[in-house]
């Protein structure tokens, strides 16, 4: 490492220009702070080193929420997708989820352009090797604050806040069977010095692993043996700012094929050559993204597994072999892929590989994503133990927002579990015991009926506006939308229609049943077969709402009213506990009746509220009751 005395002053340093780093840097710069974003290679900004999707079940929700708050991911994918599909369309509105295939190169290029044209933002290539801190006076857990970062070339950037978003680059190694390289994803240079620097300031790392399948030359594949998979006829954009007309493009198809017993036999015969089963891999891998060897071993009764063959972009012939990630050596990869119908003559361009990397246990973070040990030091993305582009991006955005909040002397923006998937994700990462890379799932959200992808703007725009990432004009549109939804819902409940002959005839004509007595339009709409659109023929006012987005909200409000009400009640209960804040200076040793395990856990994680404490593993309801009484007692004593 070089040491000289060249200093550059800025407000914020963001380490890493992946999906988390980009959102963090953009948020800080847009909120008026001089920001430098460091990357190992400018050509890898917003790179998608694994699958070519943005969105998917529950991940689509995250992208919508990022957009509602003023992040970039949704806009960027709207510009660069090559196929789009609304998943679970036949299911309830809570689980509709948008998933797109991205043109990887275009996605990366478009994001780079956004960064390059962003005021207050500088892109800087170089490896950050040290985090500079100084001691701060006063008591409490946080004894240091961040003052800057040092690059490998010796230059020091002085700053007030740092966001670490190193993704999978920290001490990464890639494994293709016995062939192990000390590189980051796709052969990119890894970062090696930062781990020791973090240890020096008391931030400990652990080892996680993930993997990716092979990329093949599309010209070598026989698509006639696969099932074609097309996108939606009418595409819904991710971003609330995107004009839906601009996303009705010519889409590129994907293909579906299957593994078979022959494939599985080759895998079973060579298990001893898979680094995972040979014990070479130390890191903990994600169960939701199993390698094909994991699938074959764990689900031995399944005779086939799905394989999706997906384009990496319009400008390349490379195809992504979704469903067959592996760390087998090349010869096994060649043989195993060739047993799959359509891949008999495949030519591998890039091998499948497993990657191991350093990350932190997010239990050491506050809900604002700031470290508890060092003031002004924030973390985001895969470095926090998550997995996936969307999970990374939303953390980056929240870290960026909270850096800005801190520098402006405002309270951090903490989204609740009851109002966003982002809130669920960050709360899970920070409060729960996570032993593998964390992926978002709809089943992790307790109140998902309220957290729909269609109402992300209604839920979160106000925060984006308060923070300053959403304009007055954008926010006014949400307020207007809210008002119309309210009025139209009330109107539908008030207007009644009777069993007149023309009404009965109309209902019959649209395949519904006749009325026995007069009912409100709302009651009629709550019939499963009725939609707001076909209510028009019976509504004396002919359904005045024409904006399909608003009509959708009205329809959902009425159709699922009972369920929504039940869920709202649960949220009320939940919010009572969330609202009970635990003072930051609480001394858990003074709470005598706590069980030892709970006391240790509470001291370690220092939850911000009773609600957060109640979700921690190792804390029982009785411990929570004890804590509540203790807090009441403290309050009473202070008053006295």
Partner 1 sequence: MALTFDTLRNDTIAAIATGITESGIGIIRISGPAAFAVGDRLCRSQEGEHIFSHWKPGTIHYCRIVDPTAKREGKEMVIDEAMVSVMKAPHSYTTEDTVEINVHGGVYLMNRVLELCLQNGCRMAEPGEFTKRAFLGGRIDLSRAEAVMDLIQSDNEFSRKTALAQLEGSVSGEVKNLRQAILYEIAFIESALDDPENYSLDGYPEKLRKKCIGLIDRLDRILQFSESGRVLKEGIRTVIVGKPNAGKSSLMNFLSGTDRAIVTDVAGTTRDTLEEKIRLGDVILDVTDTAGIRETDDVVEKIGVERAKKAAEQADLILYLVDTSTGISEEDRDIFKLLRERISAGTRCIILLNKTDLPSQTSREDIAEMFRYLTPVAPQTDKTRVVNYKRAEMIPISLRTGEGMEEFRSKILQMFRTGDLVSRNEVFLSGLRQRTEACAARDSLQLVVQSIDQGMSEDFFSIDLMNAYTALGRIIGEAVEDDLVEEIFSKFCLGK
Where do contacts with partner 1 occur on this chain (CB under 8 A)? 51, 57-58, 87-88, 90-92, 94-95, 256, 286-290, 295, 298-299, 302, 305-306, 308, 322-323, 432, 441-444, 446, 448-449, 528, 560, 563, 566-567, 574, 576-577, 580, 591-595, 610, 614-615, 617, 620-626, 628-630, 632-633, 636-637
Distance, CA of 27 to CA of 494 (rounded, Å): 45
The nearest distance, CB 333 to partner 1, in angstroms, is 17
Task: Give whichever of 298 and 408 is closer to partner 1, judged by the CB atom.
Answer: 298
Nearer to partner 1, 204 or 576 (CB): 576
User: Residue 364 CB, nearest distance to partner 1 (Å)?
Assistant: 20
CA dist., res. 453 & res. 65, Å (int): 8
**With respect to partner 1, which residue has the nearer C-beta, 411 or 590?**
590
Report, in Å, the least distance between residue 103 CB and partner 1: 19
Q: Nearest distance from residue 130's CB to partner 1, in Å? A: 37
In the numeric block, which tokens belong to residue 154? Answer: 């010796």
What is the C-alpha separation between 191 and 185, in angstroms, rounded?
A: 11
> What is the layout of strands, in order, in the sheet containing 227-229?
227-229, 254-258, 306-311, 318-322, 215-217, 348-350
Cβ nearer to partner 1, comparing 164 with 321: 321
Q: What is the dihedral of CA 210, 112, 123, 470, to 10 degrees?
A: -100
Q: At what angle do helices 73-80 and 59-69 cross, to 10 degrees?
A: 110
Nearest approach, Cβ of residue 289 and partner 1 (Å): 4
Q: Which is nearer to partner 1, 53 or 491 (CB)?
A: 53
Q: How many helices (H) and strands (E) does the chain have?
A: 20, 25
- Give one DSSP letter per residue of 361-400, joined into a string: -GGGB-TTSBBSSEETEEE-GGGGTB-SHHHHHHHHHHHH
Contacts of residue 593, defined as CB under 8 A and 6 or more positions apart, other chains included, come to 626
Instruction: Report the nearest approach of partner 1 to the CB of residue 271 (Å).
Output: 17
3-state secondary structure 103-166: CHHHHHHHHHHHHHCCCCEEEEECCEEEEEEEECCCCCCCCEEEEEEEECCCCEEECCEEEECC
Nearer to partner 1, 115 or 605 (CB): 605
> Is the CA virtual torsion 76, 81, 84, 87 positive or negative?
negative
Least Å distance, CB 562 to partner 1, is 9
Specify the residue, 133 or 387, whose C-beta has the smaller distance to partner 1. 387
CB 207 within 8 Å of CB 195: no
CB of 611 to partner 1, least distance (A): 8
Q: State in angstroms the smallest separation of the CB of 338 from partner 1.
A: 20
CB nearer to partner 1: give 332 or 450: 450
CB 44 within 8 A of CB 168: no
b/e 564-585 (16+ beta carbons within 10 angstroms → b): beebeeebeebeebbebebeee
Contacts of 628 (CB under 8 A, 6+ apart): 580, 610
CA–CA distance, 116 with 188 (Å, rounded to integer): 22
- Residue (366 or 559) nearer to partner 1, CB: 559
Which CB sits closer to partner 1, 5 or 592?
592
CB of 185 to partner 1, least distance (A): 17
């Amino acid at each position: 490492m070089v040491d000289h005395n060249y200093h550059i002053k800025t407000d914020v340093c963001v380490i890493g220009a992946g999906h988390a780093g980009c959102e963090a840097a953009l948020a800080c710069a847009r909120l008026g702070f001089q920001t430098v974003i460091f990357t190992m290679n400018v050509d890898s900004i917003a790179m998608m080193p694994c699958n070519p999707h943005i969105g998917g079940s529950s991940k689509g929700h995250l992208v919508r929420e990022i957009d509602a708050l003023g992040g970039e991911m949704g806009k960027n994918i709207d510009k660069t997708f090559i196929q789009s599909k609304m998943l679970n369309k036949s299911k309830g509105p809570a689980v509709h989820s948008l998933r797109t295939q991205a043109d990887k190169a275009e996605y990366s290029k478009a994001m780079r352009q956004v960064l390059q044209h962003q005021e207050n933002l500088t892109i800087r290539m170089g490896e950050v090797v040290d985090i500079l801190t100084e001691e701060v006076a006063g008591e409490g857990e946080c004894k240091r604050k961040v003052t800057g970062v040092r690059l490998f070339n010796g230059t020091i950037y002085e700053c007030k806040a740092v966001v670490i978003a190193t993704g999978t680059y920290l001490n990464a190694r890639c494994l293709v069977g016995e062939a192990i390289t000390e590189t980051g994803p796709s052969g990119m240079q890894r970062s090696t010095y930062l781990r020791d620097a973090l240890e020096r300031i008391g931030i400990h790392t652990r080892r996680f692993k993930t993997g990716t399948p092979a990329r093949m030359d599309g010209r070598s594949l026989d698509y006639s043996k696969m099932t074609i998979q097309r996108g939606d006829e009418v595409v819904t954009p991710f971003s609330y700012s995107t004009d839906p007309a601009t996303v009705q493009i010519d889409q590129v198809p994907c293909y579906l094929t299957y593994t078979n017993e022959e494939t599985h036999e080759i895998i079973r015969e060579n298990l001893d050559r898979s680094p995972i089963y040979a014990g070479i891999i130390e890191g903990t891998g994600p169960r939701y993204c199993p390698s094909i060897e994991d699938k074959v071993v764990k689900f031995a009764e399944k005779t086939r597994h799905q394989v999706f063959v997906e384009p990496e972009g319009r400008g390349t012939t490379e195809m992504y072999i979704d469903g067959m990630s592996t760390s087998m050596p090349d010869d096994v990869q060649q043989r195993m892929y060739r047993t799959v119908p359509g891949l008999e003559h495949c030519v591998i361009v890039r091998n499948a590989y497993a990657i191991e990397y350093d990350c932190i246990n997010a239990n050491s973070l506050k809900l604002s994503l700031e470290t508890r040990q060092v003031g002004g030091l924030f973390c985001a993305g895969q470095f926090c133990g998550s997995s996936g582009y969307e999970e990374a991006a939303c953390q980056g955005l929240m870290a960026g927002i909270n850096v800005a909040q801190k520098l402006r002397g405002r309270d951090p923006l903490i989204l609740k579990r009851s109002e966003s998937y982002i809130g669920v994700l960050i709360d899970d990462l920070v409060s729960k015991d996570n032993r593998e890379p964390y992926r978002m799932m709809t089943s992790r959200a307790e109140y998902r009926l309220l957290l729909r992808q269609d109402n992300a703007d209604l839920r979160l725009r106000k925060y984006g506006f308060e923070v300053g990432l959403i304009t007055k004009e954008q926010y006014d549109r949400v307020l207007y939308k809210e008002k119309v939804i309210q009025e139209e819902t009330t109107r539908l409940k008030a207007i009644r229609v009777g069993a007149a002959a023309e009404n009965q005839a109309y209902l019959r004509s649209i395949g519904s049943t006749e009325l026995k007595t007069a009912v409100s339009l709302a009651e009629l709409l709550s019939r499963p077969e009725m939609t707001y659109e076909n209510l028009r023929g019976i509504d004396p006012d002919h359904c005045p709402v024409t904006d399909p987005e608003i009509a959708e909200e009205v329809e959902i409000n009425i159709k699922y009213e009972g369920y929504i009400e039940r869920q709202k009640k649960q949220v009320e209960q939940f919010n009572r506990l969330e609202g009970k804040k635990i003072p930051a200076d609480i001394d858990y040793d003074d709470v005598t009746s706590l069980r030892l395990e709970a006391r240790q856990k509470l001291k370690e994680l220092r939850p911000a509220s009773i609600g957060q404490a109640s979700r921690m593993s190792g804390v029982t309801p009785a411990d929570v009751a004890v804590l509540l009484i203790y807090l009441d007692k403290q309050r009473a004593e202070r008053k006295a």
